[in-house]
Amino acid sequence: MLELKTPNNIKTLVPENLNEDNTQKFQSDNVNEIQEAKKFYDENGYVIIKKIISNEVCDTLRNFWTNEIKPFKGKIYRQTTSNAEVNVFNKNNWIMNPILNIQSLNHKYFSGIRNCAEKNIFSSTKLCKILNIFLNERPKFVQSMYFEGNSATWEHQDTYYLDSEIIGSMIAGWIALEDIKADAGRFFICPSSNKLDLIKQVKTNNYAYNHDNYILEVVSLIKKENLKIIAPYLEKGDVLFWNSKTIHGSLDSQSKSNSRSSVTFHAIPESHRFLQFQSKIKNIKTNNLGKSLIFRPKDQSKFKYRMIFLIEATFPKTFNFFKKKLISALAK
């Protein structure tokens, strides 16, 4: 076991191999196990299901990342800031600022990775069937991200940022596109933390101006409740699902030889509306993929959103000023 710390210095023991990992996992090709996985998810706020995505798909996505994303010199929307930024590489040549919303990437430059994710993840028969069981209806994908390197993600609940209009109804998933080593920036969760009282977004901890206060509240809650922190070993094709109220984050990439290639998604039930910052309920326009629906925020295949992107990329400070004002105004 490897002793590591979360972004806010909470110690956790991280299994370096499957033999050290006692986290319960379920098989994706067994109907009875999927039903048991649903019970486990409802009770613990997370569950791991093995081999949902094939090795071939994982490798294909990584190849498109290498051939389309990494050589690109322009700006792309990023997970950490939601801003348009150029690639930031570490000394191992891994991109450290993950991209936001694969489904909205510009077809002109990124058709391979966008189409592959749409066909093999957002339309995956196996994944969508599992999500249908967990959500009790067809999944509506509202957000996605792609990670290679990782600079650590703070302890948080997704519902602070986004959720279904019925809080706690959103499910998220972390898909390992390679075997995720202990020191590669592994995902961590606090089991059963979804049962705790929700940390609400208000003026004193809103995302726009007081986000650090929110993070401190989450860290304080982890310590107060003496919550367990686990960072399970995931093999290529495994998926870790978690509830929007479950506290989670990711560890810092420390390895010089191991990346943490992975895709994250968030999905809500088809009939539910979308909630942002615990304040704004939206009826979102989606594309029907058959087995699922998909929302494409700022879809770069559309001229209108390319113009918005151009303004954001050209005048980032001005745009962020008004964006923060809007988010702050929404906070109750």
pLDDT of residue 293: 98
Answer whether residue 193 shows pLDDT above 60: yes
Q: Comparing 20-34, 36-50, 164-178, 230-244, which segment has the lowest mean pLDDT?
A: 20-34
pLDDT of residue 315: 82
pLDDT in tens, 16-48: 988 899 999 999 888 889 999 999 999 999 999
Domain at 271, CATH number: 2.60.120.620
More confident of the two residues 238 and 184: 238
Answer whether residue 312 shows pLDDT above 80: yes
More confident of the two residues 59 and 327: 59
Range of the domain at 33: 2-330
Residue 177 one-letter amino acid: L
Chain centre to alpha carbon of residue 17? 23
CA distance 300 to 306: 5
- Report the DSSP beta bridge partners of residue 143: 266
Q: How confident is the model at residue 327 (pLDDT cuts 50, 70, 90)?
A: low
Is residue 67 within 8 A of residue 108, CB to CB? The reply is no
- How far is residue 278 from each of residues 85, 109, 165, 202, measured CA to CA in Å? 26, 34, 8, 9
Q: How confident is the model at residue 330 (pLDDT cuts 50, 70, 90)?
A: low
pLDDT of residue 18: 87
Chain centre to alpha carbon of residue 214? 19
- Helix or strand or coil: residue 138? coil
Mean pLDDT of 299-311: 93
Give pTM, 2 decimals: 0.93
Q: How many domains, in total, are found in the chain?
A: 1
What is the torsional sign of CA 64, 70, 72, 77?
positive
Mean pLDDT of 207-235: 88
Q: How confident is the model at residue 91 (pLDDT cuts 50, 70, 90)?
A: confident
- Report the DSSP beta bridge partners of residue 253: 184
How confident is the prediction for the chain on average, in pLDDT? Answer: 91
pLDDT of residue 81: 87
